[in-house]
Amino acid sequence: MAGGGGFIGSHLCKKLIDEGNMVYCLDNFITGNKNNIISLMDNPNFKLIEHDLSTPLDVIKDRIGEAHYLFHLASPASPNQKSERSYINFPIETLLVNSYGTHNLLLLAKEKNAKFLLASTSEVYGNPVLSPQPETYFGNVNPNGIRSVYDEGKRFSEAMTFAFHRKFGVDARIIRIFNTYGPFMQKDDGRVVTAFINQAISNLPMTIFGSGNQTRSFCYVEDMIEGIMKAMFTAGTDGEVINLGNPDERSILEIATMVKEMVGSQSEIVHETLPEDDPTKRKPDITKATNLLQWSPKVTLEEGLKKTIEHFRNV
Ligand SMILES: NC(=O)c1ccc[n+]([C@@H]2O[C@H](COP(=O)([O-])OP(=O)(O)OC[C@H]3O[C@@H](n4cnc5c(N)ncnc54)[C@H](O)[C@@H]3O)[C@@H](O)[C@H]2O)c1
């Protein structure tokens, strides 16, 4: 698992180990955190390999031995420039891990004859003119704007994955993850749910960029992990692109108000300038995941926020 020390990757490592697998977690902790996987460190079925995926894997591949499944979740993922963990502050690293990094892992998949899963993103749809977004939509992306390092990085990563699939027959699938939240997000990652919850808990102003009428749909991490597992392990997913997310679309203002009420916070809601290329709408069409994987999210926004608030109160 590349990116196993991150938010989604650490949940996936735990799930895979719970189901009896041996997991090699490769991470350089550029945006992840060792605390996410501390509970696994003494587990004999877990091995941490600290390595930059953007550099060749020759030095580590013999340590892995056989590998049957390769999950590629390694990439900075937060768009908020104010966070040190944002891809906007790691522009070159983000482009490299989605190009060289993807290439390196695909070479390993080819050599080990392993199944490959790329964690792509709804950001490949850019600022969509179509809503909800089906997998067949090609997107509306600014190729050189501030967010392009991530959006175009992931688009390149998708192209590289399918080039290996077509040219070498690598058994590969791409999932496009829509906003996901839950315990073990980093408090300072600047993503909207973490920011709102932590501002509300500390009674600090809750920052909304723009009017707050822009929409997002949030998927609880437990549901996302189930979707990722099904995308990798269900027959017939080779060569497929699958949206994974929760279609329950809400405005940012509505989410801020919900979090404020659930925390019982005295915070005031303040507005700041909307960042460049911030999408106005985001809602997955998950018809394909429902039909192909028999998957749909189960956890409501209210339940998921409750569990996430509980987590952040404890850390
Ligand atoms: N969380 C979301 O809402 C969301 C939405 C869409 C897509 N995704 C994708 O899912 C994946 C996981 O996202 P996340 O939210 O867990 O982010 P995260 O930042 O918590 O996890 C990414 C992990 O990758 C590691 N990493 C980055 N570059 C690396 C490199 N060169 N070598 C080794 N490790 C490296 C980081 O240290 C981190 O542990 C990412 O690829 C992201 O683009 C996430």
| pLDDT number for residue 16 | 98
- pTM flag (> 0.85): yes
Measured in Å, residue 74 CA sits from the centre of ligand 1 at 5
Q: Is 48 in the pocket of ligand 1 (CB under 6 A)?
A: no
List the chain pLDDT tens, one digit each, 315 residues. 999 999 999 999 999 999 999 999 999 999 999 999 999 999 999 999 999 999 999 988 888 889 999 999 999 999 888 888 899 999 999 999 999 999 999 999 999 999 999 999 999 999 999 999 999 999 999 999 999 999 999 999 999 999 999 999 999 999 999 999 999 999 888 889 999 999 999 999 999 999 999 999 999 999 999 999 999 999 999 999 999 999 999 999 999 999 999 999 999 999 999 888 888 888 999 999 999 999 999 999 999 999 999 999 998
Residues 218/252, Cβ–Cβ less than 8 Å: no
First to last CA, the chain: 26
Question: Candidates 1, 7, 15, 122: which one to mutate for ligand 1, based on the most atoms within 8 Å of Cβ?
Answer: 7
For residue 24, the one-letter residue type is Y
Cα–Cα distances (Å) from 136 to 9, 106, 168, 238, in that order, read: 26, 24, 24, 17
Measured in Å, residue 4 CA sits from the centre of ligand 1 at 8
The span from the CA of 71 to the CA of 111, in Å, is 15
Residue nearest to atom 34 of ligand 1 (CA): 27
DSSP alpha helix (H) spans, the chain: 7-18, 58-64, 91-97, 100-112, 148-168, 192-201, 221-233, 252-263, 287-293, 301-314
The closest alpha carbon to 114, from 66, 59, 161, belongs to: 66
Per DSSP, the three-state class of 219 is strand
| pLDDT number for residue 82 | 84
The closest alpha carbon to 52, from 90, 84, 81, belongs to: 90
Of ligand 1's atoms, which has the minimum distance to the CA of residue 185?
Answer: 20
Residues 310/244, Cβ–Cβ less than 8 Å: no
For residue 159, the one-letter residue type is A
Radius of gyration of the chain (CA): 19
Q: Is 157 in the pocket of ligand 1 (CB under 6 A)?
A: no
Q: Give the other-Cβ count within 10 Å of 74's Cβ.
A: 29
The span from the CA of 131 to the CA of 215, in Å, is 11
**Is position 150 annotated as part of the catalytic site?**
yes
Q: Give the other-Cβ count within 10 Å of 277's Cβ.
A: 17
Q: Give the other-Cβ count within 10 Å of 214's Cβ.
A: 18
Residues 83/43, Cβ–Cβ less than 8 Å: no
**Cβ contacts of residue 111 below 8 Å, gap of 6+?**
61
Q: Which residues of 121-142 are buried (b: 16+ CB within 10 A; e: fewer)?
A: bbbbbbbbeebbbebebebebe
Read off the DSSP letter of residue 75: S
Q: Is 198 in the pocket of ligand 1 (CB under 6 A)?
A: no
The span from the CA of 133 to the CA of 123, in Å, is 11
